[in-house]
Chains A and B, each alone.
Chain A
């Protein structure tokens, strides 16, 4: 008993961490299990095991077009926000200029404003201007709320760079453009990739801002929300779990490559 008490107090933090991970993963596990449910109309009660939902994920009407929209919007928003955000990050990290406080405030405010207010205010403006909300208003909105997150991620990476590396390149007669292209950019690239990944995941999973500015366009989160009451098909679970697994593979593969590169360098 005494042995157990000592083991317990020594590993308390680990036990607690395991409990934390359990809390995080119970809903994922539930979603995974119910993706194999042989459901009828709504996927709430367990009715038996089947692979049908996985072999035919596009069976329910509208679900795959909704997923397609989410991916298209996610890629466009990521592209736009990553470029705009990276430029701002370089300006903030590398230059002294007047109005820095104002710029910092304008970057900080969208992150401190609830999504509901961002979405609602944008819709108010679109309606006042006589714009019909739809696919492009979603893209515009997503770029807007992703910029700040890209700026923060990329800026942190630039700030952590060793300035001596760039000085060394200059000492070796590289001009500014060459130094930027061959030294600075490759070093900042992981930060930009991180920012892009963050932007894509925020855009892909966004519901609140999209819900306001979607018009008749349906994205995957909107599909799930509108079908939640009428009965959600198990194919939604299939897509959710697939995205989860895909993200896991991409990030783990990225880390593996990163580690290899570090070892060989």
Chain B
């Protein structure tokens, strides 16, 4: 292989070797530079902004390396942080509960409709995220479909509100990130050799045991990837809480957004952003370690 390559490019062996060593770095260079300048450098700017304190002028901040900013931010926004992670976890579990059977049905029960159904899972994504969230608000509204149905079934009273509630925010989060859950689940279920399930049946395991002992463990990489891809955007979201929530469902994303774009308290906004990032990273890493799927990273 190497011999042919050398003959046709006409390079001496040493040049060819040098090119081989340099090649991966040349391929990596433009993309890595982009990420260094527009991802890593901004994160470092964020950290440096987070320890600043208000200066003399309005909207002016000076660097004092005040790491106590972090403690202040955590104590001030404790409720919002806890609420954010509770909402994100519930939304992720809800999305998992909805997506698993869906992905299972597409992988094993859909026959030749498989590809069409898969496209249908992703397609709602293309109808703008904000439009869909607004649609949810209207559907859950007092004169909307869901409310009327539940009310006529006497499951809720006339003065219950579905919109502007924690319920609306969590279902909105679960809805908006559903394809992020379904696709990895489908990918890992699809890879399972159906013969492993048949074998389990041959060994007198019933459907439930087969699922618990064979299908579920084999689909774990998909479960891990899906829950992460749902949890991360859900924990950082503020749009659902903004459109579907009320002041008592404020998530940390809403606080950061307001501190940046309305209050323009950049140090506090930066501190909160960095805490959020680290908290999510810590959860992600512990979760990956615990579930033993390192192939993601």
Listed in ascending order, the chain A residues whose CB lies under 8 Å from chain B are 13-14, 16-17, 20-21, 23-28, 30-31, 34, 44, 83-85, 87-88, 90-91, 94-95, 97, 103-118, 120-125, 128, 140-141, 143-144, 147, 151, 167, 170, 173, 175-176, 201, 204-205, 207-208, 211-212, 220-221, 224-225, 228, 232, 236-237, 239-241, 243-244, 246-248, 251-252, 255
Does B134 reach chain A (CB closer than 8 Å)?
yes
- Kindly state the separation between the CA atoms of A121 and B270 in the bound complex, as whole angstroms: 8
Contacts A97-B25, A117-B46; A201 near B256 (Cβ below 8 A):
no
Contacts A30-B138, A121-B43, A140-B38; A97 near B253 (Cβ below 8 A):
no
Return the chain A residue nearest B254 by Cβ: A116
| B127-A144 in contact (CB<8A) | no
| A243-B105 in contact (CB<8A) | no
Chain B 166-179 against A: per-residue CB contact (8 Å), 1 yes, 0 no? Answer: 00000000010010
User: Which residues on the A side are within 8 Å of B129 (C-beta)?
Assistant: 205, 207, 221
| B236-A115 in contact (CB<8A) | yes
- Kindly state the separation between the CA atoms of A173 and B8 in the bound complex, as whole angstroms: 10
Partner of A121, one of B5, B45, B98, B261: B45
Closest CB pairs A-B (n = 4): A114-B236, A17-B105, A95-B24, A84-B31
Does B243 reach chain A (CB closer than 8 Å)?
yes
| B4-A13 in contact (CB<8A) | no
Does B54 reach chain A (CB closer than 8 Å)?
no
Contacts A113-B280, A251-B119; A208 near B130 (Cβ below 8 A):
no
| A237-B131 in contact (CB<8A) | yes
Does B39 reach chain A (CB closer than 8 Å)?
yes
Does B232 reach chain A (CB closer than 8 Å)?
yes
Q: Count contacts between A and B, CB distance < 8 Å.
A: 252
| A114-B105 in contact (CB<8A) | no
Chain B 249-273 against A: per-residue CB contact (8 Å), 1 yes, 0 no? Answer: 0000100110011000010011001
Instruction: Classify the interface of chain A: helix, strand, loop or mixed.
Output: helix
Return the chain A residue nearest B252 by Cβ: A116
Contacts A103-B28, A120-B270; A241 near B127 (Cβ below 8 A):
yes
CB-CB contacts below 8 Å: B80-108 with A: 98-99, 101-102, 104-106
Partner of B273, one of A30, A84, A117, A140: A117
- Kindly state the separation between the CA atoms of A172 and B171 in the bound complex, as whole angstroms: 58
User: Which residues on the B side are within 8 Å of A225 (C-beta)?
Assistant: 130, 239
User: Which residues on the A side are within 8 Å of B134 (C-beta)?
Assistant: 224, 228, 232
- Kindly state the separation between the CA atoms of A175 and B46 in the bound complex, as whole angstroms: 48
Return the chain A residue nearest B29 by Cβ: A87
CB-CB contacts below 8 Å: B1-45 with A: 1, 4-5, 8-9, 21, 23-25, 27-28, 30-32, 34-36, 38-43, 45
- Kindly state the separation between the CA atoms of A120 and B267 in the bound complex, as whole angstroms: 12
| A224-B130 in contact (CB<8A) | yes
- Kindly state the separation between the CA atoms of A168 and B40 in the bound complex, as whole angstroms: 42
| B119-A248 in contact (CB<8A) | yes
A-B contact pairs, 24 of them (CB 8 A): A13-B109, A17-B109, A23-B98, A25-B120, A27-B136, A30-B139, A84-B34, A103-B28, A110-B39, A112-B284, A113-B43, A114-B253, A116-B273, A117-B277, A143-B38, A170-B4, A176-B5, A224-B131, A228-B243, A232-B134, A236-B128, A237-B131, A247-B125, A248-B123
User: Which residues on the B side are within 8 Å of A212 (C-beta)?
Assistant: 260-261
